[in-house]
A and B are shown apart, each in its own frame.
Chain A
Amino acid sequence: MEKIFECVDLCKTFQKGRKRIEAVKNASFSIGKGEIISLVGESGSGKSTLANLMLRFLKPTGGEAFLDGKKIEDYRKKEYWKKVQAIFQDPFSSFNDFFSVKKILERAIKISSYPSPDPEERIREAVEAVNIRYEEICDKKPFELSGGQKQRLMIARIYLIKPELLIADEPTSMIDAVLRAGILELLLKLRGTTIMLITHDLALAYYISDRMLIMQNGRIVEEGEPQKILEAPEHPYTKKLIEDVPKLSEEWL
């Protein structure tokens, strides 16, 4: 499989006064084109830090990362963000409350590699694609929307930009359980875009991904296809994670 992204010994150490926090330690992995890869680990294991490194919000303290074989620092940031985009977890701070939905999506279109003669038509299509009626929300401000609607709009934004790689950092962890399936379904409609799904939910990762990375204390401790990870986990931490999902081990194994 053709690689779209690769990390080699990526490290990030935070210095807080005299305390050193090694949030990411020598992360090495690659992502294939079109793949859905998940990054699973408990809260605090360094998943978001790794995502921030991949998104160039943070500079690594060691190691390198490549997009399409080119070092990520060698892209101009705007060029990079055309290709690599993200969805975050907190629907309550995800949009600027002072702009209307229409304005927010217009601003997102600016970075898209696909200029269009009729931006509003494209925004309408993207919004309808996430099952929201455009007229209903186009003039609303984010604080007037529900968490689920905002999370859908986040995905509409991705439909507009059509990145090559999408990093979704716990996209469903802060919304109602009943809405999760719908959101995930919309994410999966992005087939064609490579997705890295970050989650602490092993069951979810198992369902959705082609390959899984297990992260513990800043280190990627295991990697493999979901079936293999669940049936024959090698690392003790992976085994512990599986045991912590009782339903999963009873019903599906």
Chain B
Amino acid sequence: MNLKKRAGALNKKLLIGAIIFFVILIVSFAYPPFSKRDPLEMEGMMFEPPSSLYPLGTDNFGRDVLTELIFGTKTSITIGFIAGSIATLIGTTIGVFAGYCGGNTDNILNTITNIFLVIPPILILIVISVSIQSRSILIMSLILGITSWPWTARAIRAQAQSLRNREHIKMAKLNGESLAEIIAFEVLPYLASYIVMAFILQVSTGILNEAAMSMLGLGPTDTVSLGTMLEWALLFESARIGAWWAFIPPGLAITMITFSLYLANSGMDEIVNPRLRGVV
């Protein structure tokens, strides 16, 4: 009885998170192709307050904030998604080999992971960014992806280690299966839920890091993102001027996206991890 109730509550967490995220996702990806407005076009005056023509006002360049917001959300989610995929791919590969193989393989991979963990990622980001002239969405994603994999590697390594002594893995060895077969069929399926969860968190990390980078002036150069919107709002002191519409919408969008992803992740975590559910 009680258990069923709990399961319902869990699904709610995951469900609400997923709904919020997918609504944002659908709006930001479905709208742009039909938009008659160009988010980069300077139509109005600087910081015009919301009106029927500009539902969320204009920014410092006189651009329509609502159009920017939708296009920017699309850019930010795209960057988060690509960066998250790269980070998850690298992190999972390194984590699985380190955790499953153990021994010297683990020592080497773990040392590499630790080196990347102790160097502040923002430092690497700055160094890479300033040495690249123009930063497209893809370059941004790449930079963010290859700096944020270490903690995924950490988490997956711990899980893979716990699988190592499971008997079906010994059985697979006794069947004469190769390392690749064992990793593909005996290890990865058991890690799938953790990999999905790590991916969700990496997407939201990617979105947050994009914003942080942009606010340092190291964001994507040829497009609008939630980060670059905040960057300009900051540079033109919109808060002091009282132009709340320039910074609240992108700030709220980032908050909503990351909040929904964390919510979905924590719901999943409780489903996968029975201890958090209080079952075991």
Interface residues of A (CB under 8 A from B): 55, 57, 77-78, 81-82, 85-86, 88, 90, 93-99, 107-108, 110-111, 157
Contacts and interface: CB of A to CB of B under 8 A. Distances in A.
Contact of A86 (B174, B177, B186, B190): B174
Given A57-B170, A86-B170, A90-B167, A96 B176 contact: no
Could you say which of B172, B176, B186, B189 has the most chain A C-beta atoms within 10 Å of its C-beta? B176
A57 B185 CA distance: 19
A96 B185 contact: yes
Contact of B185 (A77, A78, A98, A157): A98
A93 B168 contact: yes
B274 to A, nearest CB: 14
Interface in B225-280: none
Contacts of B12: none
Q: Which of B170, B185, B190 has the most CB of A within 10 A?
A: B170
B37 interface: no
Contacts of B189: 96, 98
Contacts of A81: 173-176
B170 A88 contact: yes
10 contacts: A86-B174, A88-B170, A90-B167, A94-B171, A95-B168, A96-B172, A96-B185, A96-B189, A98-B185, A98-B190
B186 A96 contact: yes
Nearest to A85: B174
Interface string B164-194: 0011101111111100000001100110000
Contact of A78 (B168, B172, B176): B176
A86 B169 CA distance: 12
Contacts of A78: 176
Which range holds the interface residue count of chain B?
Answer: 10 to 19
Interface string B154-166: 0000000000001
A111 B174 contact: yes
Contacts of B171: 88, 94-96, 108, 157
A122 B173 CA distance: 22
B168 A111 contact: no
B48 to A, nearest CB: 58
Given A81-B175, A94-B171, A96-B172, 4 more contacts: A88-B170, A93-B168, A95-B171, A96-B189
Secondary structure class of chain A's binding surface, majority of residues: loop
Main secondary structure, interface of B, reads helix
Interface of B: 166-168, 170-177, 185-186, 189-190
A223 B138 CA distance: 69
Q: Which residue, of A77, A85, A90, A93, has the highest number of chain B Cβ atoms within 10 A?
A: A93
Closest 6 CB pairs of A and B: A93-B166, A78-B176, A94-B167, A111-B176, A88-B167, A98-B189
A77 B176 contact: yes
Contacts of B185: 96, 98-99
A217 B191 CA distance: 36
Contacts of A86: 170, 174
A93 B186 CA distance: 11
B180 to A, nearest CB: 14
Contacts of B176: 77-78, 81-82, 110-111
B168 A96 contact: yes
A86 B167 CA distance: 10
A60 to B, nearest CB: 16
A114 to B, nearest CB: 14
B118 to A, nearest CB: 22
B227 to A, nearest CB: 40
A214 to B, nearest CB: 25
Contact of B175 (A88, A90, A108): A108
Contact of B167 (A93, A107, A111): A93
Contacts of A82: 176
A198 B168 CA distance: 19
A97 B171 CA distance: 13
A94 B174 contact: no
Contacts of B175: 81, 107-108, 110-111
A229 to B, nearest CB: 30
Contacts of A96: 168, 171-172, 185-186, 189
B173 A57 contact: yes
Contacts of A108: 171, 175
A196 to B, nearest CB: 15
A82 B168 CA distance: 17
A90 B174 CA distance: 16
A30 to B, nearest CB: 23
A115 B144 CA distance: 52
A93 B167 CA distance: 5
A65 B175 CA distance: 21
